[in-house]
Structure 1
Amino acid sequence: MENLENEIKKLENWKKKDKKLEKNFKFRDFVEAFSFITKIALIAEKMDHHPDIKLSYNSVDIGLTTHDINGISSNDITLARKIDELL
């Protein structure tokens, strides 16, 4: 678990909260935000690891957790990195 904590600290602007990794993303408009979500969906489906996503006009909130262990796993770290690479 200590290694996971170090990896979480390396993530840019991701916050650990209630057994989840969370991050907010802002975009110019709804279409740009929705496009971002679509890209995340394709990555998540390939990984078979699906995030919680909330869209509000140009704001996207992402929550990552591994339900099987009721907490954060290496899959969440990997998905967070892939999401950040989309920007």
Structure 2
Amino acid sequence: MDQDLQHAHCVPCEGGVAPLGVERVEALLRTLPQWQGEGRSIRREFRFKNFYETMAFVNAVAWISHREDHHPELELGYNRCVVHYSTHAIGGLSENDFICAARVDALLT
């Protein structure tokens, strides 16, 4: 995991800037090997033993999202959560998406 991303903070994005280019997205994805690019977003599926662990994880992601003011889309089930990041204001990916992904990964290390 990229330690720089894990310790960076999101910068407010209100639009007016271009999304990251393909080369930069691919380079950042190499630092987060369990995340997958999906065009304008990145995603990772997390698996847990039970609903309690899943909800604890979701609450931790919510805390990160609140602190960074950058919010993912979540798919939630009994023992799984899929986290999707995209910067909607620019219609694609920004550094903020990768910063939050790295912080989410750090929850499980």
Does 1:8 pair with 2:29? yes
Does 1:71 pair with 2:92? yes
Q: Which residue of 1 aligns with 2:42?
A: 21
Question: Offset at 1:41?
Answer: 0.3
Deviation digits for residues 9-53 of structure 1 (CA, Å, limit 9, x no counterpart) = 221210001311010000000000000000010111111100001
Aligned residues with identical type, % of pairs: 33
Instruction: Identify unmatched segments of 5+ residues in structure 1.
Output: none
Separation in 2, partners of 1:4, 1:24: 19
Query: What RMSD over aligned residues (CA atoms) do the two structures have, in Å?
Result: 1.0
Instruction: Identify unmatched segments of 5+ residues in structure 2.
Output: 1-20
Number of matched pairs: 87
Paired AA for residue 72 in structure 2: P
TM-score (norm 2): 0.76
> Which structure shows the bigger proportion of residues in strand conformation?
1
TM-score (norm 1): 0.94
If you compute each CA radius of gyration, which structure gives the higher value, 1 or 2? Answer: 2
Q: Deviation above 6 Å: which 4+ runs of structure 1?
A: none
Separation in 1, partners of 2:36, 2:101: 11
Paired AA for residue 84 in structure 2: G
Q: Which residue of 1 aligns with 2:52?
A: 31
| Larger displacement relative to structure 2 (58-67 or 7-16) | 7-16
Paired AA for residue 64 in structure 2: I
Separation in 1, partners of 2:81, 2:24: 28
Paired AA for residue 102 in structure 2: R
Higher relative contact order, structure no. (Cα contacts within 8 Å, ≥ 6 residues apart)? 2
Question: Offset at 1:4?
Answer: 3.4
